[in-house]
Amino acid sequence: MDVLALEAKSVNGAESEKKSSSRPKPKPPKKAKRIVYFEVEIVDLKTKEKLLLLDKVEPTATVLDIKALFQKSYPKWYPARQSLRLDPKAKCLKDEDVLQTLPVGTTASFYFRDLGPQLTWGTVFLAECVGPLIIYLMFYFHLPFIYSPKYDFTSSKHWVVHLACICHCFHYIKRILETLFVHRISHGTMPLKNIFKNCGYYWCTAAWMAYYINHPLYTTPYYGQMQVNTGLYVFLFCQVGNFSIHVALRNLKPPGSKTKKIPYPTKNPFTWMFWLVSCPNYTYEVGSWIGFTVMTQCVPVAFFTLVAFIQMTVWAKGKHGSYSKEFRDYPTLRSSILPFIL
Amino acid sequence: MASSEEDGTVEEKENNNKRRTKSALATAWLTFYNIAMTAGWLVLAIAMMRFYIQKGTRKGLYRSIARTLKFFQTFALVEVGHCAFGIVKTSVIVTGVQVCSRIFMVWFITNSIRQIQNEESVILFLVVWTMTEITRYSYYTFNLLHLLPYFIKWARYNLFIILYPLGVAGELLTIYAALPFVRRSGMYSMRLPNKYNVSFDYYYCLIVFMLSYIPLFPQLFLHMLRQRRRVLHGEVIVEKDD
């Protein structure tokens, strides 16, 4: 799942909340200052039924404030679940938009749509990563009902199988730790349905891979120890690279800041990939999985690598495009994911 | 500035001309394609009827029309391209699923498993497919020529109510009949151990394929029902946004 494509467009609801609640209430001046209060009407997008009328809304109120007021009347719909827009065909309004900057008169009409139950991106990432970790280990330890009963709780006699388990677990533990401590996830939430879709994919492919790698009839790689070692070195190299990029992206801007910056190579040699590629974290991720495929010589792993490559290319192209549009002096040497190729 | 304005409109005119020739080309191709497919399925229908009238039995009927069927059904893959390039305004996925399931039936079931070629279920789905496709392609043809007679429109959006379930029944019965032969021969399957560290069992794949009809068939059928309401009764249906 893409954490960092969203860093490029930072939607920071928390900041605007702070802004609106920590606004110091000025002492009312002696002469009456005319504040033009807005009237806000919230209408259901599909049925056009009038849901709520708010009068005396401050002109400096943000969309998030209005969502909070809306929730008071309809407690079920928390702000992350609300989508407000000025026109049924227009785009959804951002939480930090201020009421008086919107193209409305003093009576504003918002169309409301329920986005359904929402989950934070962090929750989804963790679920996506914990699943494969546990599932792979279930196959590794030959838990009952997976393979033939005579193999229950046995251990594989091939060294590469143990190595593959260590690498797979290392990869997902690293991802979990990064989600908890390194990534700055700027996007708020996603619909509940997504967790089933995403987790379903990650968990099923993990099970499919783990089944064959840990199978009692597993065949070791054709070129033997040399192939295993090559795969392992590529995997480790790319894991370190991937981590370096995540740290570099985290250090790119201070927490809570919304300014977007172009990432540049730092003193860490792994970040020198930034000279050639906009999204080196994806490049390294693909590299890791290629290493793992070579190490295990397993078709399901190759399939997973291919699908991951296609998905990450789509994300990388999107991010590369938004960088190029955002910054006039964006380095022209950079490709999106594969140096000089893609 | 006057000159840049002129350049702007000249470019616009060029783009418009390009778009017009592209859409004229697309319409010409689509008309040709739909006429060809209508003709093809008509040939199939006539060949099937002739065989049955002359021989009085269904034994060998499939073999006699197999090549024509394979040609015209495979050629329908082009329709996925039509949707992908935007020449036809249908979802790529819906068309893709329908064409792929047909291709799967023709190439991976009836073509590969000879023992089931004389089953009644094969005749059932062949008849259904022939009727559906002739109606569908003639509908498209007349639509493109803006000469659509009402009875074809009626046929296209009403016959499916009976034909679609019958077709599904024919297909499922055929696959079910094929299962024992697949198991015995172990065709298209790969067992462990092997150097690719993967296995595939065609028998279980077919069972999964049959089970997939359960979620997919209602969706496609409801989609057709919605189209029917829209086209025949002019109802505006509010789609649920996902």
For A147, A153, A316, B35, the CA distances from A142, given in Å and listed in that order, are 7, 5, 38, 59
pLDDT at A9: 43
Confidence category of residue B207, pLDDT binned at 50, 70, 90: very high
Per-residue pLDDT reduced to its tens digit, B227-239:
899 888 876 555 5
Whether B12 sits among the annotated catalytic residues: the reply is no
Residue of chain B whose Cα is closest to the Cα of A219: B195
Backbone angles phi, psi at A73, to 5 degrees: -85, -30
Are A206 and A140 contacting, i.e. CB atoms less than 8 angstroms apart? no
Other CB atoms closer than 10 Å to residue B24's CB: what's the count? 10
User: Both tokens of residue B126?
Assistant: 């062949």
How far is B238 from chain A, CA to nearest CA, in Å? 8
List the one residue out of A244, A266, A241, A262 whose CA is nearest residue A253.
Answer: A262
Catalytic pick among B139, B171, B202, B203: B171
- Phi-psi label, residue A145: left if phi above 0, alpha if psi -120 to 50, beta otherwise: left
Are A286 and A293 contacting, i.e. CB atoms less than 8 angstroms apart? no
Are A112 and A51 contacting, i.e. CB atoms less than 8 angstroms apart? yes
How far is B208 from chain A, CA to nearest CA, in Å? 16
Q: How far is CA A2 from the centre of its chain?
A: 4
Q: Which among B195, B238, B241 has the least Cβ separation from residue A219?
A: B195
pLDDT at A313: 95
How far is B202 from chain A, CA to nearest CA, in Å? 17
pLDDT tens for chain A, residues 1 to 342: 455 444 444 444 444 444 444 455 565 555 566 778 888 888 888 888 888 888 888 888 888 888 888 888 888 888 888 888 888 888 888 888 888 788 888 888 888 988 888 888 888 999 999 999 999 999 999 999 999 999 999 999 999 999 999 999 999 999 999 999 988 877 778 888 888 999 999 999 999 999 999 999 999 999 999 999 999 999 999 999 999 999 999 988 777 776 788 899 999 999 999 999 999 999 999 999 999 999 999 999 999 999 999 999 999 999 999 899 988 888 888 999 999 988
Among positive and negative, which fits the CA dihedral A220, A224, A227, A233?
positive
Mean pLDDT for chain B?
Answer: 89
d(CA A337, CA A320): 9
List the one residue out of B42, B72, B47 whose CA is nearest residue B62.
Answer: B47
Q: Point out the least confidently predicted range of A270-284, B18-32, B44-58.
A: B18-32
Per-residue pLDDT reduced to its tens digit, B162-187:
999 999 999 999 999 999 999 999 99
Q: Which among A113, A217, A299 has the least Cβ separation from residue B196?
A: A299
Whether B171 sits among the annotated catalytic residues: the reply is yes
Q: How far is CA A321 from the centre of its chain?
A: 18
d(CA A112, CA B217): 34
pLDDT at A130: 95
Query: What is this structure's pTM?
Result: 0.76
List the one residue out of A33, A196, A193 whose CA is nearest residue A128.
Answer: A196
Averaged pLDDT, B22-44: 93
Q: How far is CA A105 from the centre of its chain?
A: 37
Quick one: A149 exposed, middle or buried, by C-beta within 10 A (0-12, 13-18, 19+)?
A: exposed
Per-residue pLDDT reduced to its tens digit, B80-136:
999 999 888 888 988 998 899 999 999 999 999 999 999 999 999 999 999 999 999
A157 has a chain B CB within 8 A of its CB? no
Interface subset of A 200-219, CB within 8 angstroms of B = 212-213, 215, 217-219
pLDDT at B236: 58
